[in-house]
Structure 1
Amino acid sequence: MIDLAKIRAIDFHTHAEEPCGCHADDGYDDLQAAMAEYFHAPWDHPPTLPRTAAHYRTQGIAAVIFPVDAERETGFRRYDNFEMADLAAEHSDILIPFASIDPARGRAGAREARRLVAEHGIQGFKFHPTMQGFYPNDRAAYPLYEAIAETGKPALFHTGQTGVGSGMRGGMGMRLKYSNPMHLDDVAADFPDMPIIAAHPSFPWQEEALAVAVHKPNVWIDLSGWRPKYFPPILIQYANTLLRDRMLFGSDWPMIRPEGWLAEFEALPIRGHARPGILKDNAARLLRLS
Protein backbone atom coordinates (compact mmCIF):
# COMPACT_ATOMS: atom_id res chain seq x y z
CA MET A 1 0.00 0.00 0.00
CA ILE A 2 1.04 3.60 -0.58
CA ASP A 3 2.54 5.25 2.51
CA LEU A 4 1.62 8.91 2.01
CA ALA A 5 4.20 10.02 4.55
CA LYS A 6 6.99 8.56 2.39
CA ILE A 7 6.08 10.16 -0.92
CA ARG A 8 6.29 13.76 -2.06
CA ALA A 9 3.68 13.57 -4.82
CA ILE A 10 1.21 11.38 -6.69
CA ASP A 11 1.54 11.35 -10.46
CA PHE A 12 -1.98 10.72 -11.76
CA HIS A 13 -1.00 9.97 -15.36
CA THR A 14 1.61 7.41 -16.36
CA HIS A 15 1.50 4.87 -19.18
CA ALA A 16 2.24 1.16 -18.94
CA GLU A 17 3.62 1.19 -22.45
CA GLU A 18 5.37 -2.16 -22.13
CA PRO A 19 3.87 -4.26 -19.31
CA CYS A 20 5.63 -7.42 -20.48
CA GLY A 21 8.53 -5.80 -22.32
CA CYS A 22 7.62 -7.14 -25.78
CA HIS A 23 5.03 -6.88 -28.52
CA ALA A 24 4.48 -7.83 -32.14
CA ASP A 25 5.72 -4.98 -34.35
CA ASP A 26 2.48 -3.86 -35.94
CA GLY A 27 3.46 -0.23 -36.42
CA TYR A 28 3.66 0.45 -32.71
CA ASP A 29 7.43 1.03 -32.85
CA ASP A 30 6.96 3.76 -35.46
CA LEU A 31 4.29 5.39 -33.32
CA GLN A 32 6.51 5.33 -30.23
CA ALA A 33 9.45 6.77 -32.16
CA ALA A 34 7.29 9.65 -33.43
CA MET A 35 5.97 10.34 -29.93
CA ALA A 36 9.47 10.28 -28.45
CA GLU A 37 10.54 12.86 -31.03
CA TYR A 38 7.46 15.03 -30.35
CA PHE A 39 8.04 15.02 -26.59
CA HIS A 40 11.87 14.92 -26.74
CA ALA A 41 11.70 11.79 -24.59
CA PRO A 42 15.11 10.67 -23.26
CA TRP A 43 14.81 6.90 -23.85
CA ASP A 44 15.45 4.62 -26.81
CA HIS A 45 12.68 2.17 -25.93
CA PRO A 46 9.58 2.56 -23.73
CA PRO A 47 10.27 1.37 -20.17
CA THR A 48 8.71 -1.77 -18.77
CA LEU A 49 6.41 -1.53 -15.79
CA PRO A 50 9.10 -2.71 -13.32
CA ARG A 51 11.48 -0.06 -14.70
CA THR A 52 8.78 2.54 -14.25
CA ALA A 53 8.24 1.47 -10.66
CA ALA A 54 11.97 1.65 -9.97
CA HIS A 55 12.23 5.17 -11.36
CA TYR A 56 9.27 6.43 -9.33
CA ARG A 57 10.54 4.77 -6.19
CA THR A 58 13.85 6.60 -6.44
CA GLN A 59 11.94 9.86 -6.93
CA GLY A 60 9.63 9.33 -3.95
CA ILE A 61 6.57 9.68 -6.16
CA ALA A 62 3.57 7.33 -6.36
CA ALA A 63 2.06 6.77 -9.80
CA VAL A 64 -1.31 5.93 -11.29
CA ILE A 65 -0.41 3.66 -14.22
CA PHE A 66 -2.48 2.23 -17.07
CA PRO A 67 -2.42 0.77 -20.59
CA VAL A 68 -4.72 1.95 -23.40
CA ASP A 69 -7.06 -0.55 -25.06
CA ALA A 70 -7.11 0.80 -28.62
CA GLU A 71 -6.71 -2.45 -30.55
CA ARG A 72 -10.02 -2.15 -32.42
CA GLU A 73 -9.23 1.31 -33.77
CA THR A 74 -5.44 1.13 -34.26
CA GLY A 75 -4.65 -2.57 -34.62
CA PHE A 76 -2.03 -2.32 -31.85
CA ARG A 77 -2.05 -5.34 -29.59
CA ARG A 78 -4.21 -4.95 -26.54
CA TYR A 79 -2.28 -5.26 -23.30
CA ASP A 80 -3.89 -7.63 -20.85
CA ASN A 81 -5.39 -5.68 -17.94
CA PHE A 82 -5.01 -8.70 -15.69
CA GLU A 83 -1.33 -9.06 -16.54
CA MET A 84 -0.75 -5.38 -15.82
CA ALA A 85 -2.67 -5.57 -12.53
CA ASP A 86 -0.60 -8.53 -11.38
CA LEU A 87 2.66 -6.76 -12.28
CA ALA A 88 1.55 -3.57 -10.53
CA ALA A 89 0.65 -5.57 -7.42
CA GLU A 90 4.33 -6.51 -7.14
CA HIS A 91 5.06 -2.79 -6.77
CA SER A 92 2.07 -1.74 -4.68
CA ASP A 93 4.25 0.53 -2.56
CA ILE A 94 4.52 2.94 -5.49
CA LEU A 95 2.07 2.00 -8.29
CA ILE A 96 -1.71 2.48 -8.41
CA PRO A 97 -3.15 0.42 -11.30
CA PHE A 98 -5.91 1.62 -13.61
CA ALA A 99 -7.29 -0.59 -16.40
CA SER A 100 -8.38 0.31 -19.92
CA ILE A 101 -11.34 -1.21 -21.74
CA ASP A 102 -12.63 -0.18 -25.16
CA PRO A 103 -16.29 0.83 -24.65
CA ALA A 104 -17.10 -1.08 -27.85
CA ARG A 105 -16.64 -4.28 -25.82
CA GLY A 106 -20.09 -3.60 -24.38
CA ARG A 107 -21.37 -5.93 -21.68
CA ALA A 108 -18.28 -8.10 -21.90
CA GLY A 109 -16.24 -5.03 -21.08
CA ALA A 110 -18.55 -4.23 -18.18
CA ARG A 111 -18.06 -7.75 -16.79
CA GLU A 112 -14.30 -7.35 -17.12
CA ALA A 113 -14.40 -4.03 -15.27
CA ARG A 114 -16.28 -5.48 -12.33
CA ARG A 115 -13.92 -8.44 -12.11
CA LEU A 116 -10.81 -6.26 -12.33
CA VAL A 117 -11.95 -4.21 -9.35
CA ALA A 118 -13.31 -7.07 -7.27
CA GLU A 119 -10.48 -9.55 -7.82
CA HIS A 120 -7.41 -7.70 -9.09
CA GLY A 121 -7.19 -4.42 -7.20
CA ILE A 122 -7.81 -2.07 -10.13
CA GLN A 123 -8.40 1.44 -8.80
CA GLY A 124 -9.80 3.20 -11.87
CA PHE A 125 -10.19 3.19 -15.64
CA LYS A 126 -8.51 5.05 -18.50
CA PHE A 127 -10.19 6.11 -21.76
CA HIS A 128 -8.55 7.70 -24.80
CA PRO A 129 -11.37 8.82 -27.12
CA THR A 130 -9.03 9.81 -29.95
CA MET A 131 -7.12 6.51 -29.94
CA GLN A 132 -10.26 4.46 -29.26
CA GLY A 133 -12.36 6.31 -31.84
CA PHE A 134 -15.48 7.19 -29.82
CA TYR A 135 -17.31 10.14 -28.35
CA PRO A 136 -17.37 9.83 -24.54
CA ASN A 137 -21.10 10.65 -24.47
CA ASP A 138 -21.99 7.88 -26.92
CA ARG A 139 -24.70 5.83 -25.21
CA ALA A 140 -22.99 2.67 -26.41
CA ALA A 141 -20.35 3.34 -23.75
CA TYR A 142 -22.89 3.60 -20.93
CA PRO A 143 -22.99 -0.10 -19.93
CA LEU A 144 -19.28 0.15 -19.16
CA TYR A 145 -19.73 3.44 -17.28
CA GLU A 146 -22.54 1.88 -15.27
CA ALA A 147 -20.23 -0.93 -14.18
CA ILE A 148 -17.50 1.53 -13.24
CA ALA A 149 -19.96 3.72 -11.34
CA GLU A 150 -21.09 0.67 -9.36
CA THR A 151 -17.52 0.11 -8.18
CA GLY A 152 -17.07 3.72 -7.07
CA LYS A 153 -13.82 3.98 -9.03
CA PRO A 154 -12.86 7.01 -11.16
CA ALA A 155 -12.80 7.21 -14.94
CA LEU A 156 -9.98 9.17 -16.59
CA PHE A 157 -10.46 10.55 -20.12
CA HIS A 158 -7.86 11.95 -22.47
CA THR A 159 -8.90 15.44 -23.62
CA GLY A 160 -7.53 17.91 -26.14
CA GLN A 161 -4.83 17.52 -28.75
CA THR A 162 -2.65 14.45 -28.40
CA GLY A 163 0.99 13.75 -29.10
CA VAL A 164 -0.11 10.30 -30.29
CA GLY A 165 0.24 10.34 -34.05
CA SER A 166 1.38 13.97 -34.10
CA GLY A 167 3.48 14.69 -37.18
CA MET A 168 2.74 11.30 -38.71
CA ARG A 169 1.04 11.00 -42.08
CA GLY A 170 -2.60 12.01 -41.56
CA GLY A 171 -1.96 12.05 -37.81
CA MET A 172 -2.01 8.26 -38.15
CA GLY A 173 -5.71 8.58 -38.90
CA MET A 174 -6.56 9.77 -35.39
CA ARG A 175 -9.29 12.39 -35.04
CA LEU A 176 -9.03 15.07 -32.39
CA LYS A 177 -12.77 15.79 -32.39
CA TYR A 178 -13.47 12.87 -30.06
CA SER A 179 -11.46 14.45 -27.25
CA ASN A 180 -13.30 17.74 -26.83
CA PRO A 181 -13.90 17.89 -23.04
CA MET A 182 -17.41 19.21 -23.59
CA HIS A 183 -18.44 15.63 -24.39
CA LEU A 184 -17.70 14.80 -20.75
CA ASP A 185 -20.44 17.17 -19.61
CA ASP A 186 -23.10 14.64 -20.61
CA VAL A 187 -21.23 11.81 -18.89
CA ALA A 188 -20.84 13.84 -15.70
CA ALA A 189 -24.54 14.72 -15.70
CA ASP A 190 -25.65 11.13 -16.33
CA PHE A 191 -23.19 9.62 -13.82
CA PRO A 192 -23.04 12.27 -11.08
CA ASP A 193 -21.48 9.94 -8.52
CA MET A 194 -18.69 8.65 -10.78
CA PRO A 195 -15.48 10.68 -10.42
CA ILE A 196 -14.34 11.83 -13.87
CA ILE A 197 -10.87 13.15 -14.63
CA ALA A 198 -10.30 15.27 -17.73
CA ALA A 199 -6.66 14.54 -18.54
CA HIS A 200 -4.28 17.24 -19.78
CA PRO A 201 -4.58 20.94 -20.46
CA SER A 202 -7.28 20.56 -23.08
CA PHE A 203 -5.83 22.50 -26.00
CA PRO A 204 -7.60 23.98 -27.90
CA TRP A 205 -10.59 23.57 -25.57
CA GLN A 206 -9.11 24.73 -22.26
CA GLU A 207 -12.03 26.95 -21.30
CA GLU A 208 -14.53 24.20 -22.09
CA ALA A 209 -12.72 21.86 -19.71
CA LEU A 210 -12.67 24.47 -16.94
CA ALA A 211 -16.35 25.23 -17.49
CA VAL A 212 -17.35 21.57 -17.22
CA ALA A 213 -15.25 21.07 -14.06
CA VAL A 214 -16.64 24.17 -12.37
CA HIS A 215 -20.21 23.18 -13.21
CA LYS A 216 -19.95 19.46 -12.42
CA PRO A 217 -18.44 18.71 -8.99
CA ASN A 218 -17.57 15.14 -9.98
CA VAL A 219 -15.14 16.37 -12.67
CA TRP A 220 -11.42 16.78 -11.95
CA ILE A 221 -8.53 17.88 -14.16
CA ASP A 222 -5.08 16.31 -14.36
CA LEU A 223 -2.26 18.52 -15.60
CA SER A 224 -0.31 15.90 -17.53
CA GLY A 225 0.97 15.89 -21.08
CA TRP A 226 2.20 19.48 -21.06
CA ARG A 227 5.32 20.99 -19.54
CA PRO A 228 4.13 23.46 -16.87
CA LYS A 229 6.01 26.34 -18.49
CA TYR A 230 3.45 26.14 -21.31
CA PHE A 231 0.35 26.24 -19.07
CA PRO A 232 -2.06 29.00 -20.15
CA PRO A 233 -2.73 31.74 -17.56
CA ILE A 234 -6.39 30.82 -17.23
CA LEU A 235 -5.49 27.27 -16.18
CA ILE A 236 -3.15 28.60 -13.48
CA GLN A 237 -5.86 31.01 -12.33
CA TYR A 238 -8.39 28.22 -11.81
CA ALA A 239 -5.76 25.98 -10.18
CA ASN A 240 -5.28 28.72 -7.62
CA THR A 241 -8.98 29.37 -7.02
CA LEU A 242 -12.19 27.60 -8.00
CA LEU A 243 -10.61 24.24 -8.90
CA ARG A 244 -7.67 24.08 -6.49
CA ASP A 245 -9.26 21.06 -4.75
CA ARG A 246 -9.81 19.17 -8.04
CA MET A 247 -6.53 19.72 -9.87
CA LEU A 248 -4.08 16.80 -10.06
CA PHE A 249 -0.38 16.53 -10.85
CA GLY A 250 0.30 14.26 -13.81
CA SER A 251 3.37 13.89 -15.99
CA ASP A 252 2.45 11.61 -18.96
CA TRP A 253 5.44 9.33 -18.30
CA PRO A 254 7.35 8.00 -20.13
CA MET A 255 7.11 10.95 -22.52
CA ILE A 256 7.60 13.50 -19.72
CA ARG A 257 9.69 12.73 -16.65
CA PRO A 258 7.94 13.56 -13.36
CA GLU A 259 11.01 15.22 -11.85
CA GLY A 260 11.26 17.62 -14.81
CA TRP A 261 7.55 18.43 -14.59
CA LEU A 262 7.85 19.12 -10.86
CA ALA A 263 10.83 21.39 -11.34
CA GLU A 264 8.91 23.54 -13.83
CA PHE A 265 5.77 23.50 -11.67
CA GLU A 266 7.83 24.90 -8.80
CA ALA A 267 8.44 28.03 -10.85
CA LEU A 268 4.73 28.70 -11.55
CA PRO A 269 2.81 31.30 -9.54
CA ILE A 270 0.79 28.66 -7.68
CA ARG A 271 -0.39 29.82 -4.28
CA GLY A 272 0.94 28.09 -1.20
CA HIS A 273 -2.45 26.77 -0.12
CA ALA A 274 -3.10 25.18 -3.56
CA ARG A 275 0.28 23.55 -4.18
CA PRO A 276 0.10 20.58 -1.69
CA GLY A 277 -3.34 19.63 -2.95
CA ILE A 278 -2.32 19.61 -6.60
CA LEU A 279 0.83 17.60 -5.94
CA LYS A 280 -0.54 14.96 -3.58
CA ASP A 281 -3.49 15.65 -1.31
CA ASN A 282 -6.23 15.92 -3.95
CA ALA A 283 -5.21 12.62 -5.53
CA ALA A 284 -4.99 10.92 -2.14
CA ARG A 285 -8.55 12.04 -1.38
CA LEU A 286 -9.88 11.01 -4.79
CA LEU A 287 -8.25 7.58 -4.55
CA ARG A 288 -9.30 7.19 -0.93
CA LEU A 289 -5.74 6.78 0.23
CA SER A 290 -6.30 9.17 3.13
Structure 2
Amino acid sequence: MDITKIKAIDVHVHAEVSCHDPEDPVMGKFFDAASAYFKAPRERPKMPEIADIYREQQIAFCIFTVDCESGIGAKRISNYEVAEFAAKNDDICMAFASIDPHKGKMGAREARDLIENYGVKGFKFHHIMQNIEPAARVGYPIYEVIAEYGLPAIFHTGHSGMGTGMRGGAGVRLKYGQPMLVDDVAADFPDMKVILAHPSWPWVDESLSMALHKDNVFIDLSGWSPKYFAPQIIQYANTQLRKKMLFGSDFPLIHPQKWIDAALKVGFREDVLPGIMKDNALGVLGLA
Protein backbone atom coordinates (compact mmCIF):
# COMPACT_ATOMS: atom_id res chain seq x y z
CA MET A 1 0.00 0.00 0.00
CA ASP A 2 1.36 3.38 -1.03
CA ILE A 3 0.02 5.61 1.72
CA THR A 4 0.95 8.76 -0.23
CA LYS A 5 -1.77 7.87 -2.75
CA ILE A 6 -4.42 7.32 -0.08
CA LYS A 7 -6.70 10.20 0.94
CA ALA A 8 -8.24 8.52 3.96
CA ILE A 9 -8.43 5.24 5.92
CA ASP A 10 -11.80 3.76 6.83
CA VAL A 11 -11.20 1.45 9.78
CA HIS A 12 -14.74 0.02 9.89
CA VAL A 13 -16.02 -1.83 6.80
CA HIS A 14 -18.13 -5.00 6.93
CA ALA A 15 -17.88 -8.04 4.69
CA GLU A 16 -21.41 -9.32 5.12
CA VAL A 17 -21.71 -11.85 2.32
CA SER A 18 -19.34 -14.51 1.10
CA CYS A 19 -18.16 -14.67 -2.48
CA HIS A 20 -18.65 -18.45 -2.37
CA ASP A 21 -21.52 -19.29 0.00
CA PRO A 22 -25.15 -18.14 0.08
CA GLU A 23 -26.33 -15.63 2.66
CA ASP A 24 -27.05 -17.26 6.00
CA PRO A 25 -30.84 -17.10 6.63
CA VAL A 26 -30.43 -16.27 10.33
CA MET A 27 -28.12 -13.39 9.50
CA GLY A 28 -30.48 -12.34 6.72
CA LYS A 29 -33.20 -11.48 9.24
CA PHE A 30 -30.78 -9.14 11.01
CA PHE A 31 -29.81 -7.57 7.69
CA ASP A 32 -33.50 -6.93 6.95
CA ALA A 33 -33.94 -5.08 10.24
CA ALA A 34 -30.64 -3.19 10.01
CA SER A 35 -31.43 -2.01 6.48
CA ALA A 36 -34.75 -0.63 7.70
CA TYR A 37 -33.11 1.05 10.68
CA PHE A 38 -30.33 2.68 8.63
CA LYS A 39 -32.57 3.29 5.59
CA ALA A 40 -29.90 1.49 3.57
CA PRO A 41 -30.20 -0.83 0.56
CA ARG A 42 -30.98 -4.42 1.52
CA GLU A 43 -28.61 -6.00 -1.02
CA ARG A 44 -25.16 -6.45 0.49
CA PRO A 45 -22.18 -5.86 -1.82
CA LYS A 46 -19.57 -8.57 -2.14
CA MET A 47 -15.96 -7.85 -1.35
CA PRO A 48 -14.80 -7.11 -4.94
CA GLU A 49 -17.55 -4.50 -5.25
CA ILE A 50 -16.42 -2.91 -1.99
CA ALA A 51 -12.83 -2.74 -3.19
CA ASP A 52 -13.93 -1.06 -6.42
CA ILE A 53 -15.84 1.62 -4.50
CA TYR A 54 -12.93 2.39 -2.17
CA ARG A 55 -10.26 2.24 -4.86
CA GLU A 56 -12.19 4.75 -6.95
CA GLN A 57 -12.31 7.12 -3.98
CA GLN A 58 -8.67 6.50 -2.98
CA ILE A 59 -9.74 5.44 0.51
CA ALA A 60 -7.99 2.51 2.16
CA PHE A 61 -10.13 0.30 4.38
CA CYS A 62 -10.09 -2.37 7.07
CA ILE A 63 -12.57 -5.14 6.30
CA PHE A 64 -13.99 -7.81 8.58
CA THR A 65 -16.88 -10.11 9.23
CA VAL A 66 -18.48 -10.73 12.63
CA ASP A 67 -18.26 -14.20 14.14
CA CYS A 68 -21.43 -14.58 16.23
CA GLU A 69 -21.96 -18.30 15.80
CA SER A 70 -22.51 -18.91 19.52
CA GLY A 71 -24.52 -15.76 20.20
CA ILE A 72 -27.18 -15.95 17.48
CA GLY A 73 -26.40 -19.17 15.62
CA ALA A 74 -25.51 -17.55 12.31
CA LYS A 75 -22.82 -19.18 10.20
CA ARG A 76 -19.86 -16.84 9.89
CA ILE A 77 -18.02 -15.80 6.77
CA SER A 78 -14.56 -17.36 6.88
CA ASN A 79 -11.78 -15.14 8.20
CA TYR A 80 -9.56 -16.91 5.69
CA GLU A 81 -11.74 -15.79 2.80
CA VAL A 82 -11.52 -12.19 4.03
CA ALA A 83 -7.75 -12.43 4.53
CA GLU A 84 -7.13 -13.95 1.12
CA PHE A 85 -9.25 -11.27 -0.53
CA ALA A 86 -7.37 -8.50 1.28
CA ALA A 87 -4.02 -9.98 0.27
CA LYS A 88 -5.05 -9.79 -3.39
CA ASN A 89 -6.15 -6.17 -2.94
CA ASP A 90 -3.45 -4.94 -0.59
CA ASP A 91 -3.10 -1.65 -2.45
CA ILE A 92 -6.31 -0.53 -0.75
CA CYS A 93 -7.47 -3.21 1.72
CA MET A 94 -6.41 -4.60 5.13
CA ALA A 95 -7.96 -7.69 6.69
CA PHE A 96 -9.22 -7.80 10.26
CA ALA A 97 -10.46 -11.10 11.68
CA SER A 98 -13.41 -11.83 13.95
CA ILE A 99 -13.40 -14.74 16.38
CA ASP A 100 -16.22 -15.50 18.79
CA PRO A 101 -14.72 -15.16 22.31
CA HIS A 102 -16.53 -18.35 23.35
CA LYS A 103 -13.99 -20.24 21.22
CA GLY A 104 -11.30 -19.53 23.81
CA LYS A 105 -8.02 -21.37 23.24
CA MET A 106 -9.14 -22.80 19.92
CA GLY A 107 -9.97 -19.27 18.87
CA ALA A 108 -6.50 -18.21 19.97
CA ARG A 109 -5.00 -20.86 17.69
CA GLU A 110 -6.98 -19.46 14.77
CA ALA A 111 -5.91 -15.91 15.65
CA ARG A 112 -2.24 -16.84 15.64
CA ASP A 113 -2.53 -18.67 12.33
CA LEU A 114 -4.32 -15.72 10.73
CA ILE A 115 -1.64 -13.31 11.91
CA GLU A 116 1.41 -15.42 11.11
CA ASN A 117 0.32 -17.01 7.86
CA TYR A 118 -2.40 -14.77 6.39
CA GLY A 119 -1.27 -11.26 7.29
CA VAL A 120 -4.30 -10.21 9.33
CA LYS A 121 -3.77 -6.67 10.67
CA GLY A 122 -6.28 -6.58 13.53
CA PHE A 123 -9.45 -8.03 15.05
CA LYS A 124 -13.12 -7.15 15.47
CA PHE A 125 -15.38 -8.06 18.40
CA HIS A 126 -19.12 -7.43 18.66
CA HIS A 127 -19.96 -8.66 22.14
CA ILE A 128 -23.63 -7.73 21.83
CA MET A 129 -24.02 -10.14 18.91
CA GLN A 130 -21.61 -12.60 20.52
CA ASN A 131 -23.68 -12.59 23.75
CA ILE A 132 -20.75 -12.28 26.13
CA GLU A 133 -19.09 -9.67 28.31
CA PRO A 134 -15.95 -8.16 26.77
CA ALA A 135 -13.87 -9.09 29.82
CA ALA A 136 -15.13 -12.67 30.08
CA ARG A 137 -12.06 -14.77 30.83
CA VAL A 138 -12.87 -17.37 28.19
CA GLY A 139 -11.90 -14.78 25.56
CA TYR A 140 -8.61 -13.79 27.17
CA PRO A 141 -6.46 -16.33 25.26
CA ILE A 142 -7.52 -14.58 22.03
CA TYR A 143 -6.62 -11.17 23.46
CA GLU A 144 -3.25 -12.55 24.58
CA VAL A 145 -2.36 -13.42 21.00
CA ILE A 146 -3.48 -10.01 19.72
CA ALA A 147 -1.46 -8.25 22.42
CA GLU A 148 1.61 -10.39 21.70
CA TYR A 149 1.71 -8.98 18.18
CA GLY A 150 0.72 -5.46 19.24
CA LEU A 151 -2.27 -5.41 16.93
CA PRO A 152 -5.48 -3.37 17.25
CA ALA A 153 -8.85 -4.80 18.18
CA ILE A 154 -12.16 -3.08 17.46
CA PHE A 155 -14.89 -3.47 20.09
CA HIS A 156 -18.48 -2.59 19.24
CA THR A 157 -19.87 -0.08 21.75
CA GLY A 158 -23.21 1.63 22.26
CA HIS A 159 -26.55 0.93 20.66
CA SER A 160 -26.70 -1.74 17.96
CA GLY A 161 -28.60 -1.47 14.72
CA MET A 162 -28.41 -5.27 14.65
CA GLY A 163 -31.62 -6.48 16.27
CA THR A 164 -33.25 -3.04 16.37
CA GLY A 165 -36.99 -3.35 15.74
CA MET A 166 -36.99 -7.14 15.91
CA ARG A 167 -39.14 -8.99 18.43
CA GLY A 168 -37.37 -8.66 21.77
CA GLY A 169 -34.41 -7.27 19.86
CA ALA A 170 -33.95 -10.86 18.60
CA GLY A 171 -32.64 -11.67 22.06
CA VAL A 172 -29.64 -9.38 21.58
CA ARG A 173 -28.58 -7.70 24.84
CA LEU A 174 -27.40 -4.10 24.59
CA LYS A 175 -25.67 -4.22 27.99
CA TYR A 176 -22.62 -5.86 26.40
CA GLY A 177 -22.10 -2.70 24.36
CA GLN A 178 -21.37 -0.52 27.39
CA PRO A 179 -17.86 0.89 26.79
CA MET A 180 -16.78 0.63 30.42
CA LEU A 181 -17.04 -3.15 30.15
CA VAL A 182 -14.01 -2.95 27.83
CA ASP A 183 -11.97 -1.01 30.39
CA ASP A 184 -10.74 -4.19 32.12
CA VAL A 185 -9.52 -5.49 28.75
CA ALA A 186 -7.67 -2.25 28.00
CA ALA A 187 -6.05 -2.34 31.44
CA ASP A 188 -5.15 -6.04 31.32
CA PHE A 189 -3.71 -5.84 27.77
CA PRO A 190 -1.81 -2.54 27.50
CA ASP A 191 0.03 -3.79 24.39
CA MET A 192 -3.23 -4.25 22.49
CA LYS A 193 -4.61 -1.15 20.80
CA VAL A 194 -8.28 -1.00 21.76
CA ILE A 195 -10.58 0.78 19.30
CA LEU A 196 -14.03 1.59 20.69
CA ALA A 197 -16.31 1.48 17.67
CA HIS A 198 -19.04 4.08 17.15
CA PRO A 199 -19.94 7.15 19.22
CA SER A 200 -21.15 4.78 21.99
CA TRP A 201 -24.58 6.31 22.55
CA PRO A 202 -26.06 6.24 25.18
CA TRP A 203 -22.70 5.94 26.96
CA VAL A 204 -20.76 8.55 24.98
CA ASP A 205 -18.87 9.98 27.95
CA GLU A 206 -17.55 6.57 29.00
CA SER A 207 -15.69 6.15 25.71
CA LEU A 208 -14.29 9.68 25.89
CA SER A 209 -13.09 9.04 29.46
CA MET A 210 -11.42 5.77 28.52
CA ALA A 211 -9.63 7.27 25.50
CA LEU A 212 -8.45 10.14 27.69
CA HIS A 213 -7.29 7.80 30.46
CA LYS A 214 -5.54 5.00 28.58
CA ASP A 215 -2.86 5.44 25.94
CA ASN A 216 -3.96 2.26 24.14
CA VAL A 217 -7.63 3.26 23.72
CA PHE A 218 -8.94 4.94 20.55
CA ILE A 219 -12.40 5.72 19.16
CA ASP A 220 -13.70 5.08 15.65
CA LEU A 221 -16.53 7.36 14.62
CA SER A 222 -18.44 4.87 12.49
CA GLY A 223 -22.07 3.87 12.48
CA TRP A 224 -23.52 7.37 12.83
CA SER A 225 -23.61 10.32 10.49
CA PRO A 226 -21.47 13.06 12.09
CA LYS A 227 -24.49 15.37 11.99
CA TYR A 228 -25.94 13.29 14.84
CA PHE A 229 -22.81 13.29 17.04
CA ALA A 230 -23.14 14.47 20.62
CA PRO A 231 -21.44 17.87 21.04
CA GLN A 232 -18.77 16.50 23.38
CA ILE A 233 -17.46 14.23 20.61
CA ILE A 234 -16.64 17.25 18.45
CA GLN A 235 -15.27 19.11 21.49
CA TYR A 236 -12.82 16.35 22.46
CA ALA A 237 -11.90 15.55 18.86
CA ASN A 238 -10.82 19.16 18.47
CA THR A 239 -8.80 19.21 21.70
CA GLN A 240 -7.60 16.52 24.08
CA LEU A 241 -8.49 13.51 21.91
CA ARG A 242 -7.42 14.87 18.52
CA LYS A 243 -4.87 12.02 18.22
CA LYS A 244 -7.35 9.35 19.32
CA MET A 245 -10.23 9.71 16.84
CA LEU A 246 -10.43 7.55 13.69
CA PHE A 247 -12.58 7.71 10.57
CA GLY A 248 -14.91 4.78 10.15
CA SER A 249 -18.07 4.51 8.08
CA ASP A 250 -19.78 1.19 8.91
CA PHE A 251 -20.13 0.49 5.18
CA PRO A 252 -22.33 -0.85 3.60
CA LEU A 253 -24.84 0.72 6.01
CA ILE A 254 -23.24 4.15 5.66
CA HIS A 255 -21.38 5.16 2.50
CA PRO A 256 -17.93 6.64 3.21
CA GLN A 257 -18.48 9.72 1.07
CA LYS A 258 -21.76 10.44 2.83
CA TRP A 259 -19.92 10.29 6.17
CA ILE A 260 -17.14 12.57 4.91
CA ASP A 261 -19.57 15.12 3.49
CA ALA A 262 -21.34 15.34 6.85
CA ALA A 263 -18.06 15.53 8.81
CA LEU A 264 -17.05 18.67 6.92
CA LYS A 265 -20.09 20.50 8.29
CA VAL A 266 -20.17 19.68 12.00
CA GLY A 267 -17.35 21.76 13.43
CA PHE A 268 -14.23 19.62 13.30
CA ARG A 269 -11.25 21.97 13.18
CA GLU A 270 -9.49 22.14 9.82
CA ASP A 271 -6.16 21.14 11.39
CA VAL A 272 -7.79 18.16 13.16
CA LEU A 273 -9.53 16.52 10.19
CA PRO A 274 -6.37 15.11 8.53
CA GLY A 275 -5.66 13.19 11.72
CA ILE A 276 -9.16 11.80 11.95
CA MET A 277 -9.33 10.89 8.29
CA LYS A 278 -5.91 9.25 7.91
CA ASP A 279 -2.93 10.15 10.10
CA ASN A 280 -4.18 8.74 13.41
CA ALA A 281 -5.01 5.42 11.76
CA LEU A 282 -1.52 5.17 10.26
CA GLY A 283 -0.12 4.91 13.77
CA VAL A 284 -2.76 2.54 15.12
CA LEU A 285 -2.36 0.21 12.14
CA GLY A 286 1.45 0.33 12.22
CA LEU A 287 1.71 1.99 8.82
CA ALA A 288 3.49 5.15 9.94
Q: TM-score, normalised on structure 2?
A: 0.98
Count residues in correspondence.
288
Determine the structure 2 residue equivalent to 1:20: 19
How much does 1:26 deviate?
Answer: 2.5
| d(CA) in 2 for partners of 1:3, 1:239 | 27
**SS of corresponding position for 1:13:** strand
Determine the structure 1 residue equivalent to 2:247: 249
- Further displaced range: 275-284 or 78-87: 78-87
Determine the structure 2 residue equivalent to 1:40: 39
| d(CA) in 1 for partners of 2:280, 2:18 | 27
Residue identity over aligned pairs, in percent, reads 53
- For 2:25, the aligned partner's letter is D
Residue pair 2:30, 2:163 contacting (<8 A) in 1 also: yes
**SS of corresponding position for 1:62:** strand
- For 2:14, the aligned partner's letter is H
Q: Is it true that 1:10 corresponds to 2:9 in the alignment?
A: yes
Q: Deviations over 1:218-261 (max 9, x none)?
A: 00000000000000100111101111101000000000000000
How much does 1:25 deviate?
Answer: 4.1
How much does 1:21 deviate?
Answer: 5.4
How much does 1:170 deviate?
Answer: 0.8
Q: Is it true that 1:122 corresponds to 2:146 in the alignment?
A: no
| d(CA) in 1 for partners of 2:54, 2:128 | 28
- Further displaced range: 2-11 or 48-57: 2-11
| d(CA) in 1 for partners of 2:35, 2:250 | 12
Determine the structure 2 residue equivalent to 1:223: 221
Long gaps (5+) in structure 2: none
Q: How does 1:98-113 map to 2 (within 5 A)?
A: 98-113=96-111
Determine the structure 2 residue equivalent to 1:89: 87
How much does 1:162 deviate?
Answer: 0.6
| d(CA) in 1 for partners of 2:195, 2:15 | 18
How much does 1:275 deviate?
Answer: 0.8
**SS of corresponding position for 1:27:** helix
Q: Which runs of 4+ in 1 moved over 4 A?
A: none
How much does 1:44 deviate?
Answer: 3.8
Determine the structure 2 residue equivalent to 1:155: 153
Determine the structure 2 residue equivalent to 1:197: 195
Q: TM-score, normalised on structure 1?
A: 0.97
Q: Deviations over 1:83-139 (max 9, x none)?
A: 111112111111111000011111111111111011001000000010001111112
Which of the numbers 264, 269, 282 marks the counterpart of 1:266? 264
Q: Deviations over 1:168-212 (max 9, x none)?
A: 111111000001000111111111111000000001000011111
| d(CA) in 2 for partners of 1:20, 1:131 | 23
Give the CA RMSD over aligned residues: 1.1
- For 1:127, the aligned partner's letter is F
How much does 1:50 deviate?
Answer: 0.7
Residue pair 2:24, 2:75 contacting (<8 A) in 1 also: no
Long gaps (5+) in structure 1: none
Determine the structure 1 residue equivalent to 2:48: 50
Which of the numbers 155, 177, 180 marks the counterpart of 2:178? 180
Residue pair 1:16, 1:49 contacting (<8 A) in 2 also: yes
Residue pair 1:114, 1:151 contacting (<8 A) in 2 also: no
| d(CA) in 2 for partners of 1:121, 1:96 | 9
